[in-house]
Amino acid sequence: MTPDEAKNLPRKLKVPITRHLPDYLKDPANYEKIERALLETLASRHSHAEVLDWHKCKSCQNKVLNHKNMMRGLGFLTPAHYYGWKKIMHVLLKGTRDKLK
């Protein structure tokens, strides 16, 4: 890539991931609290051997619904928005890029 081509590249993302996020989500100090709160919404004291059993379990499905509502309440628009935020926080906190899947 030549320097002239590099000058023509856009300087910003068209839709930045942090654009619609509230300030408390942009603060790296709150990352662990938010992650813990989201994980606790999915925590359960029982397990299922089959996915179909999990799907039929009212308790587990209520936890998934609570998790979805909490993510929306925090300010995430979609699960992809959440994972993008998570990648950014890893870069800010660790200083290196992690391959999050």
Residue 74 has pLDDT above 90, yes or no: yes
Q: Which residues of 67-91 are buried (b: 16+ CB within 10 A; e: fewer)?
A: beebbeebbbeeeebbebbbebbbe
pLDDT at residue 82 in the model: 92
Q: Where are the domains of the chain?
A: 50-93
pLDDT (tens digit per residue) in 13-57: 555 777 788 889 888 899 999 999 999 999 988 999 999 999 999
Give the separation between CA 71 and CA 49, rounded to whole angstroms. 27
Distances in whole angstroms, Cα of residue 5 to Cα of each of 1, 9, 10, 99: 6, 7, 11, 29
Give the separation between CA 10 and CA 31, rounded to whole angstroms. 29
In this structure, what token pair is assigned to residue 61?
Answer: 């499905």
